[in-house]
């Protein structure tokens, strides 16, 4: 039984990656749908870069998700449903932590470096691509994956971990992956 609970939790985590993709792609970027609370927060995140919704809102969403997904899952499948819901909610929390770290810290290890390039391609190159923050799986399935090359980061949105405090440019260790794009006169930020 322990193996089936672990599998159910893993399937819950996989379910979160699909929800992550769908929420980000359609509620965050489809102009017809983004008047929703997530879309409003997401547009602000794209335009300000270092803006994240308040932790209290994320805790409220976590609790709501646990109820909305957990109650039916437990009613339908008992302990297996509870494990699935726990996997989904736990991976949502992992997503929130990883997403914030992508913006606030340089990548550690191959996954950390990949995740930042993948995500910042979405932010600064093409907001129609790379909607999966933790995985490219659903971008590959739905044809929205783009392999990142050098990422041009707008000067006003440059993350502190990326900027060399002495030169004001991109830190040497990130210079093959990121370039600083100077501000254009009169240009407005695109929420994509």
- pLDDT, averaged in runs of 10, over the chain (192 residues): 91 97 96 91 91 92 91 96 96 95 91 95 97 97 97 95 94 95 60 46
Rounded CA-CA distance 23/20 in Å is 5
Structure tokens at 100: 């914030």
- pLDDT at position 80 is 97
C-alpha to C-alpha distances, 77 to 84, 97, 148, 152, nearest whole angstrom: 9, 29, 41, 48
Q: Which residues contact 111 (CB under 8 A, 6 or more apart)?
A: none
> CA–CA distance from 128 to each of 21, 122, 138, 167 (Å)?
12, 7, 13, 33
The token duo for 5 is 């609970």
Identify the residue whose tokens are 């990548």.
Answer: 107
Question: Quick one: pLDDT at residue 183?
Answer: 74
The answer, as to whether pTM is greater than 0.95, is no
Q: How far is CA 132 from CA 22, 26, 77, 162, 186, in A?
A: 9, 12, 28, 22, 31
| CA-based nearest residue to 97, from 43, 58, 48 | 58
pLDDT at 185: 54
Neighbours of 158 (CB within 10 A): 19
Sign of CA dihedral 122, 123, 125, 128: positive
pLDDT at 90: 96
- What is the pLDDT, as a whole number, of residue 49? 81
Alpha helices of 30-108 — where are they, by DSSP H? 37-48, 55-104
Question: Contact, 132 vs 104, CB < 8 A?
Answer: no
The conformational region for residue 168 under phi > 0 = left, psi -120 to 50 = alpha, else beta, is left
């Amino acid at each position: 039984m322990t193996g089936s609970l672990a599998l159910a939790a893993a399937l819950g985590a996989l379910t979160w990656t699909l929800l992550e993709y769908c929420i980000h792609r359609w509620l965050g970027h489809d102009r017809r749908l983004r008047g929703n609370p997530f879309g409003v927060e997401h547009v602000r995140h794209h335009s300000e870069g270092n803006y994240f919704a308040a932790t209290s809102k994320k805790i409220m969403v976590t609790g709501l998700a646990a109820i909305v997904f957990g109650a039916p899952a437990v009613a339908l499948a008992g302990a297996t449903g509870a494990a699935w819901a726990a996997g989904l909610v736990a991976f949502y929390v992992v997503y929130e932590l990883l997403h914030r770290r992508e913006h606030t810290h340089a990548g550690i290890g191959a996954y950390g470096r990949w995740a930042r390039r993948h995500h910042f391609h979405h932010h600064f190159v093409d907001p129609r691509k790379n909607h999966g923050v933790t995985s490219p799986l659903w971008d590959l399935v739905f044809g929205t994956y783009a392999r990142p090359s050098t990422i041009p980061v707008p000067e006003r949105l440059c993350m502190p971990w990326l900027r060399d405090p002495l030169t004001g440019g991109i830190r040497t260790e990130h210079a093959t992956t990121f370039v600083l794009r100077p501000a254009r006169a009169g240009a407005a930020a695109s929420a994509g």
